[in-house]
Amino acid sequence: MRRFSIFALILFVLAVGGLFALGPSGTQRAQTSFLGIISPFLTTGSNLDRKISAVRQGLKTLQELELENQQLAVSNKELKAVNQTLRDLETENNRLRMALQYRERAAFQLVPARVIARDASSWWNTIKIDRGTADGLESDMPVLTESGLVGKTTSVAEHAATVLLISDENCRVASSIEGTREQGIISGERGSGTSQPVLCMRFLSKTANLKPDQKVYSSGVGGVYPAGIFIGAIKEFRVRELDGFATLQPAVDLTTLEDVFVVLGKK
């Protein structure tokens, strides 16, 4: 190691001595040659430094990235909310269009009404609508939608009325089954161990032999419900000791009622 240091010192002394020996013009030529040799390395280093600086300027801080991510998350939630609102509006628009078309082609004189209240713990009993005696309503008027029968009015005030639903045990509808001579009475029946009633058809003949999906309509007997209003479809038929008995799938989803029609009479 000591020999290498002595050798480096000798080379340095010789180089300095050589520069003094060359004189001013020789020293300048040596400097020019030396710059020519190292200039490519200086250019490459300068370009690399500029590129590194550009990359550093283009990079964002962690805080900036977190803020941008939060803004994107908020924008995404807003877009989802707007999209859901548009879908809901489209669904409601289609529903109202179908209701309007039904009202125009129906054989009955109909008054549109909106559901304004119902008891969440006993939704199958009654609902309240925003029409009353001021709109021509009376008790025992049929209530329906474009899909089928809902129930009938009971107590009626000037601007509101209570509707007894067909799923209630006290609402009874004389009915007939499409394609047969079978007739019976439909009402709700509270199932054992459940709070939700089942829509049932009683007093059928034991030989009815009904099949699933057969349609059931109001028969017009009794004077409250006009004949031909769709009530539902047969789910199951069985024979009891005294009669035939069937359960039905209601035509109207009574859990999601929003708009209904009250039948004032025939057109």
Rounded-to-integer distance, Cα 261 and Cα 131, Å: 10
Does residue 129 have a pLDDT over 80? yes
Burial class (CB in 10 A: 0-12, 13-18, 19+), 220: middle
DSSP state of 262: E
- Give the N- to C-terminal CA distance of the chain in Å, as an integer: 119
Q: Please, are residues 198 and 218 in contact by the beta-carbon 8 Å criterion?
A: no
Give ∠ CA 178-183-188 in degrees, rounded to 5: 100
pTM for this predicted structure: 0.63
Per-position DSSP letters for 98-160, written without gaps between them? HHHHHHHH-SEEEEEEEEEEE-GGGTTTEEEES--GGGT--TT-EEE-SSSEEEEEEEE-SS-
- 134-193 pLDDT tens trace: 999 999 999 999 899 999 999 999 999 999 999 998 999 999 999 899 999 999 987 544
Does residue 34 have a pLDDT over 60? no
Task: Centre a 10 Å sphere on the Cβ of residue 167 and count the other Cβ atoms it contains.
Answer: 25
Which residue carries 């009622």 as its tokens?
Answer: 257
pLDDT at 15: 58
pLDDT at 141: 96
- 65-121 pLDDT tens trace: 778 888 888 878 777 777 777 666 566 666 656 666 666 677 788 999 999 998 877
DSSP state of 251: S
b/e per residue 182-207 (b: at least 16 CB within 10 A):
bbbbbbbeeeeeeeebbbbbbebeee
DSSP state of 60: P
Of 85-89, 245-249, 262-266, the range with the lowest mean pLDDT is 85-89
Instruction: Name the helix (H) or strand (E) containing 265.
Output: strand 259-266
pLDDT at 193: 45
Per-residue pLDDT band for 17 (boundaries 50, 70, 90) equals: low
Rounded-to-integer distance, Cα 90 and Cα 63, Å: 41
Per-position DSSP letters for 176-240, written without gaps between them? EETTS--EEEEEEEEPTT-SSEEEEEEEE-TT----TT-EEEE--TTSSS-TT-EEEEEEEEEE-
Instruction: Name the helix (H) or strand (E) containing 250.
Output: strand 244-250
Q: Tell me the two tokens of residue 252.
A: 């109207």
Q: How far is CA 203 from the centre of its chain?
A: 42
- 217-234 pLDDT tens trace: 999 998 899 999 999 999
